Amino acid sequence: MEFKMSMVVPATPAELWSTLLDVPRISSCIPGCDNVEEIERLATYKATVKQKIGPFKIEVPADIVVESITEPSHVRTRATGRDKFTGTRLAVVLDVTVTPQDAGSTFAVEAKVDVQGRLASMGFGVIKRRVDQNFEEFEKKLKDMLGAA
């Protein structure tokens, strides 16, 4: 599955980039993300993602690797994990791009998500609704954090 989302935020690209690289801070904007642990700065992390999607409640301990950074405009991460209760496996490649936009910045996300196991049986539509809800919540929290809401 592939998802693309973007938003305009009232922060300069440098301010937004600084926020994105502050992993504990930015992770507080991600719905259901907690227990973020930095293994190696801007290289490897661990986190737990909890979500309710359809009838399933999943809790995925994830290993996150920063695959590439092009400062101050692009970062690619890869996250993998498995929910022990449903057996659902997730693999996500996330590309985040920051570009100037008038007095602010555009924050764009492209995600390639591979879902295997029981959650995959829910289908694209159900999963997409949850992704859209999470992105809306992330956008609100990020804009609040940057002083824009």
47-96 pLDDT tens trace: 999 999 989 899 999 999 999 999 999 999 999 999 999 999 999 999 99
- pTM attached to this predicted model: 0.91
Superfamily covering domain 2-145: START domain (3.30.530.20)
Count of C-beta atoms within a 10 Å radius of residue 17: 21
Distance, C-alpha 85 to centroid of its chain: 22
pLDDT of residue 87: 92
123-142 pLDDT tens trace: 899 999 999 999 999 999 99
C-alpha distance from residue 127 to each of 3, 68, 116 (Å): 11, 27, 12
